[in-house]
Amino acid sequence: MKKLSLLLLLLTVQTITIFAQTKISGTVKNQKGTGLASVNISVADSYDGGTTDNNGYYSFNTNEKGQTSLVFSILGYTILEKDIIIAGDTLTVNAVLKEDTQELEAVVVTAGSFEASDKKRAVTVLSTLDVLTTGGANADITASLKTLPGAQQLGDQEGLAVRGGSTYETKQYIDGTLVSKPYYTGQPNVAQRGRFSPTLFKGTVFSTGGYSALYGQALSSALILESVDIPAMSQAGFSLSDVFLGADFQHVANNRKSSWGVSAGYTNLSPYFNMVKQRDYYYTMPEYYNGDANFRIKTKSGGILKYYTTLSSSKIGVELSNIDFDNYKNNMDIKNTNWYNNISLREYLKNGWKMNLGLSYSYNVDKFHQQVYDLNGNPATLLSPVLDSIYNYNIKTRQNFAQAKAVFEKSFTGNNALRFGTEYWHENSRNNYKLYNITLEDNLLAMFAETDVHLMAKLAVKLGARAEYSSVIDRWNIAPRASLAYKTGTYSQVSAAYGMFYQKPENIQLLFASNLHYQQASHYILNYNYSSLGQTMRIEGFYKTYDNLVKTVPNYNNNGSGYARGTEIYWRDKRSFQRFDYWVSYSYVDTKRDYMNYPEKLQPNFAANHTATLVVKSFFIKLKTGFNITYSFASGRPYYNLMKNNGNNNYHIADRGKTRNYNDLGFSLNWLVNWFGSNGVVVASVTNVLGQKQVYGYNYSANGNIKRPIMPTADRFFFIGIFLNWGVDRTQDIIDGRY
Amino acid sequence: MKILFFTIALICTLTVSAQQPDKYTQAMYANMAKVDSAKTVREKLELSNTFERIAKAEKDKWQPYYYAAMLQILRTYEMKGNETQNIDEVLNKADNLLISAEVISPNNSEILCLQSMATSARIPVDYMTRGAQYGQQASEILKKAIKADPSNPRAYLLMGQTTFYTPEFIGGGKDKAKPLIEKSLELFETFKPSSTLDPVWGKPMAQLLLKQYN
């Protein structure tokens, strides 16, 4: 055996001596002249070759002879082939490699938007999990988005007030189509939750300005939600908390090509309000019923057809103090029924074309009934007919909203793309107020086109335009949009965006005036973005102008205007501290507007100059528990008492001021459990842990003499809930080969 | 006795040389032997590049692409600290190599196993955001691997390993992993690679895992 090895060794040595080798070496650099590491160098059609070191230097020996070529390859660069002639002992071959735009992580236009999805390479800012585990947000999408820069900390009205814009100026879209009533209907001066659970969505884009031409009818901001495709597995869920009870079921077909699901929930605040004292008295405890259903089917092309529907109804009866008359109480009944439907189809066509179709329909009924009672509990009529009409009323609004949208997209090489499409909205709202019966109908047609062009590997431009015609306005508008991004480094880029945005006046205004135009805003945005693994930094400056804002005095007109400018900073770091994930947001906005009944340009009451949040999360594997803390701060917001002038229809400022600063420390923990064989989680959370006094503004009596703070219905909200999930585990099926 | 031994040795040598006389097989054997000894990130890269060169020269063999990809995936396991920044880039490379392998040998259980490994190797970059999604994707690919070849012990081993290290509270756990590991060991007993260049790794790993139950 030994002999044999020796023989083999001898043979090998002989082989080496027979073929005289050539040493090939050199240095590989990129276009900037920096040495490139890990480049694979090979002699064409042979096994011989080498790998560059950290300085870009390589060397290897080869037995090949004569005319051939040397191939340099590394991911992210165009393959380079150099003709060589191998002769003699040594050969030096240097090379310069060009960056490959198609393989490089291409520059993406990001100005103005927070991409919050789980896509492989997108800058993940806020995932579904983040929404569920943001301290104090109680798993509400809107509440968790308030931890990002741009959004105001409003507790007295639902929705997102972005960059000096009102909540009306932010719109929500699900799978491309607008959601007309994204929030529950509730009592005045109390922000309501969103109707949609964060778990319905796989991605969220929160655009705080300068967004795509695919979206319109929002002056300030677009919240673009993309629903999940086929869920991971069949499962059944059950939830119980101090305020609600729910159950859900999701079935996924064995071949994972289709799924369907249903869920039902019941919310009743009675037990909670009996334990935790509220500022207002509820003679009908808030109660909500809701149910939803969905199905999803994968198409042959790899696309998907999705349907989601949800039906909910709610009622509240609340007794509010009467600010004008101490001996009266206002009883307010609020009832809401909402049915929402969304069907969407994503289909891949031939030749790189993609089609997105969306259809949505919703029906919403809001009923507000207010009656004044005296101290003896008898209904009262106020002597002044004006005051009586303010206090005793019955309003019923029924709204039908339907939308169809089609977007076609063609992808070209080099990440270039063309998108265009059209959408049509039909809105019909019937309003009953006392003896009045007013119907408002609008048909809105929009067309849009957008293109992504990569001018260079590091420079991308997105150009778009949108045209809209609304029948109630009876005019066309054309809104150009443009943005560009330049990659300044591996992890950083600079972007800029410009756009014009149009939005119809609110329905309540359109009901009273027939001569109104679109309101208009222009956005100018400059952004710097740094994102490496686990760290994201974003600095953004913006300037916005508002024109044609609706003024309600002396009569309805479009003479309002305004501006907003500011700076925002966002920093998220999951890397520096083990097990800790935190982010910090700061926004500064300087804004003034003349609209509604404002007598002059004023800082609106929904805008604070400074807003800051700190979110910290940590998960302890041993304890199976995550702890989440959110601290929110906002400087005081202005408030005004605007009173009608004697002698004319205009208003003057009878009183003004700034509220105290807003501070809120929110806390939540999520403890993972396996009760009853489930994958479950126990969630406990408290808002405003420190019990800091929060004042959102002031209400004034009709004569202006009495002023009362608008405050949350209670200092804190305590939540404790159990969410259990039983997934259908199919391990045994796999072992047995049944699947 | 000595003569007999020598004869056997000679026959062996002859058979070996009769079966693999070609340059490709020799090069593959030589480099496959180096897989276990390539310890550092750098050594693994160099060996991966060597396999890639063989693959490119041969054009119709999936095995060199397979080993090139495997080494890229193994490289990421060694990456620590600031190096973790490059994990995605390395795995993109591995994915590309596996696509090349798949084109040559579609629906190959072994290639699918590596694709699953390349997917789950992305998780350490950001456990919180990626854990659930990539974990899910990785096990979906493993199911395909089992379907493609129900006698592949590596597919069960990887499934068992993933389940073993997935916390109980998100659907994993030792108890669920055990039957999978046992199944893989059972298959290792009978598994015959269809060529001497096909992957054979994994049995010691399965044995090691099973020991942890004692």
Q: Chain B interface, mutation test: which of A39, A47, A103, most B Cβ atoms within 10 Å?
A: A47
* pLDDT score of A199: 86
CA distance B180 to chain A (A): 7
* The pLDDT value given to residue A116: 44
Q: Is B17 on the interface with A (CB under 8 A)?
A: no
Cβ(A626)–Cβ(A133) below 8 Å: yes
Q: In the structure, what pLDDT confidence band is assigned to residue A386 with cuts at 50, 70 and 90?
A: confident
Residue B144 in contact with partner chain A when CB distance is under 8 A: no
Specify the pLDDT at position B3: 46
**Domain ranges within chain A, ordered by starting residue:** 12-97, 113-734
Residue A479 backbone phi and psi in degrees, to 5:
-120, 110
Give the pLDDT band (50/70/90) at residue B10: very low
Query: What integer pLDDT is reported at residue A420 of this predicted model?
Result: 96
- Smallest CA–CA separation between B200 and chain A, in Å? 20
DSSP string over A209-257: SS--TT--S-SSEEEEEEE--S-SS-EEEEEEESSEEEEEEEEE-TTSS
Show residues of chain B in contact with A679, CB under 8 Å: 169-171
Q: What is the pLDDT of residue A571?
A: 93
Whether the model clears a pTM of 0.80, i.e. scores above it, the answer is: no
The DSSP call for residue B141 is: H
Q: Say whether residue B106 is in contact with chain A using an 8 A CB cutoff.
A: no
pLDDT of residue A112: 54
B28-60 pLDDT tens trace: 999 999 988 888 888 999 999 999 999 999 989
Question: Measured between CB atoms, does B186 come within 8 Å of chain A?
Answer: no
pLDDT tens column, A203-222: 788 888 888 899 999 999 99
Cβ distance B169 to A672 less than 8 Å, yes or no, reads yes
Minimum distance, in Å, between the CA of residue A16 and any CA atom of chain B = 15
CB A116 within 8 A of CB A110: no
The answer to whether B53 contacts A47, with C-beta atoms less than 8 Å apart, is: yes
A49/B49 Cβ within 8 A: yes
pLDDT reading at B192 higher than 80: yes
| Contact list, A232 vs chain B (CB under 8 Å) | 132, 136
pLDDT digits over A84-100, tens only?
988 888 899 999 998 77
B56/A71 touch (CB, cutoff 8 Å), yes or no: yes
A533·B84 Cβ contact <8 A: yes
8 Å CB contact of A533 and B180 = no
Q: Do A48 and B129 touch (CB under 8 A)?
A: no
| Sign, CA torsion A110/A358/A151/A667 | negative
Chain A partners within 8 Å of B156 (Cβ): 735
The confidence score (pLDDT) of residue A11 equals: 45
Q: pLDDT per residue over A515-548, tens digit each?
A: 899 999 999 999 898 887 778 888 999 999 999 9
Mutate: best of B92, B146, B169, B178, partner A, most A CBs <10 A: B169
* Separation CA A70–CA A59 (nearest Å): 12
Write the CATH number of the domain with boundaries A113-734.
2.40.170.20
Distance, CA of A350 to chain centre: 31
CA distance A576 to chain B (A): 10
pLDDT of residue A65: 86
* CB within 8 Å: B163 and A256: no
Amino acid (1-letter code) at residue B160: G
Q: Which chain B residues touch A42 with a CB distance below 8 Å?
A: 52-53, 56-57
Contact B50, B31 (CB under 8 A): yes
Asked if B13 lies within 8 A of A739 by C-beta distance, the reply is no
Interatomic CA distance for residues A176 and A406, integer angstroms: 9
Lowest mean pLDDT among A342-346, A551-555, A654-658: A551-555
Q: How far is A413 from chain B (nearest CA, A)?
A: 18
Q: Among residues A49, A107, A109, A36, which one has the least CA distance to residue A78? A: A36
Least confident residue range of A222-226, A457-461, A468-472 = A457-461
Asked whether the beta carbons of residue A51 and residue B125 sit closer than 8 angstroms, the reply is no
Q: Name the amino acid, one letter, at A603.
A: Q
**A122 — pLDDT class (breaks 50, 70, 90):** very low
Tens digits of residue pLDDT in A419-439: 999 999 999 999 998 778 889
A338 or A130, greater pLDDT: A338
Distance of CA B39 to the CA centre of its chain: 16
Q: What is the mean pLDDT of chain A?
A: 88
The answer to whether the Cβ–Cβ distance between B170 and A75 falls below 8 Å is no
How far away is chain B from the Cα of A424, in angstroms, using its nearest Cα? 35
- For A646-694, the pLDDT digits (tens) are 888 889 999 999 999 999 999 999 998 888 878 788 999 999 999 999 9
What pLDDT was estimated at residue A108? 58
Q: What pLDDT is attached to residue B169?
A: 66
Q: What is the pLDDT of residues B193-207, one digit of tens each?
A: 888 899 989 999 999
Partner-chain contact A38 B150, CB within 8 Å: no
Are B179 and A732 within 8 A, CB to CB? Answer: yes
The answer to whether the beta carbons of residues A400 and A181 sit under 8 Å apart is: no
How far apart are the C-alpha atoms of A279 and A711, rounded to whole Å?
9
- Over residues A638-648, mean pLDDT: 92
Q: Does B49 touch chain A (CB under 8 A)?
A: yes
Please state, in angstroms and rounded to a whole number, the distance separating the CA atoms of residues B65 and B50.
Answer: 10
Residue A423 CA, chain-centre distance (Å), reads 21
**Given a cut of 80, is residue B183 above it in pLDDT?**
yes
Taking the Cβ of residue B56 and every Cβ of chain A, the question of whether any pair is shorter than 8 Å is answered with: yes
Give A611's strand partners: A587, A634
Mean pLDDT of chain B, nearest integer: 84
Q: Using one digit for the tens of pLDDT, what is the confidence trace for B74-129?
A: 999 888 777 777 888 899 899 999 999 999 999 999 999 999 999 999 888 777 76
Q: B180 CB near a chain A CB, below 8 Å?
A: yes
**Distance in Å, alpha carbon of A99 to nearest chain B alpha carbon:** 15
In chain B, residues with a C-beta closer than 8 Å to the C-beta of A534 are 125-126
For the ranges A257-271, A564-578, A696-710, the lowest mean pLDDT is seen at: A564-578
Residue A623's pLDDT is what? Answer: 85
Closest Cα partner for B89 from A71, A485, A103? A103
For A40, the closest of B49, B130, B132 (CB atoms) is B49
Closest by CA position to A87, among listed A16, A22, A17: A22
Average pLDDT over residues A291-299: 95
Mutate to test the interface with A, among B2, B29, B97, B129 (most CBs of A within 10 A): B129
DSSP H or E stretch at residue A610: strand A610-620
| Closest Cα in chain B, distance from residue A566 (Å) | 31
d(CA A696, CA A302): 49
Q: Determine contact: B15 vs chain A, CB below 8 A.
A: no
Q: Do A731 and B179 touch (CB under 8 A)?
A: yes
Structure tokens at A514: 């027939």
Asked if CATH classification 2.60.40.1120 holds for the domain at A12-97, the reply, yes or no, is: yes
Beta carbons of A679 and B169 less than 8 Å apart: yes
Instruction: Classify residue A600 by its DSSP letter.
Output: S
pLDDT, residue A647, reads: 84
* Per-residue model confidence (pLDDT) at position A104: 45
Confidence (pLDDT) at A7: 47
Q: CB-based burial of residue A563 (10 Å sphere; 0-12 exposed, 13-18 middle, 19+ buried)?
A: middle
pLDDT per position as a tens digit, B127-182: 776 777 788 888 889 989 999 999 999 999 999 998 888 877 666 788 889 999 99
Contact A49 B147 (CB under 8 A): no
Q: Any chain A CB within 8 A of the CB of B16?
A: no
* Binary contact (B53, A118; C-beta < 8 A): no
**A interface residues, B as partner, C-beta within 8 Å:** 1, 4, 38, 40, 42, 45-51, 71, 75-76, 118, 120-121, 124, 127, 129, 232, 256, 532-534, 574, 581, 619, 621, 624, 672-674, 679, 727, 729, 731-732, 734-735, 737, 739
Confidence of residue A101 (pLDDT cuts 50, 70, 90): low
ipTM value: 0.83
Res A449 pLDDT > 50? yes
Contacts of A280 (CB under 8 A, 6+ apart): A187, A318, A319, A320, A713
The set of residues, in sequence order, having a beta carbon less than 8 Å from that of B129 and lying 6+ positions away, is A118, A124, A127, A129
The reply to whether A113-734 shares the fold of A12-97 is no
Q: What's the rounded Cα separation, in Å, for the pair B20 and B16?
A: 6
Mean pLDDT calculated for residue range A621-634: 90
Split at pLDDT 50, 70, 90, the class of A561 is very high
Q: How far is B112 from chain A (nearest CA, A)?
A: 16
Q: What is the pLDDT of residues A21-31, one digit of tens each?
A: 899 999 999 98
Residue type, A38: S
- In A253-303, beta strands by DSSP E: 258-268, 281-298
Closest alpha carbon within chain A to B25:
A47
Higher local confidence (pLDDT), A604 or B86: A604
> B46 to chain A nearest CA, in Å?
6
Residue A507 has pLDDT above 80, yes or no: yes
Closest chain A CA to residue B49: A40
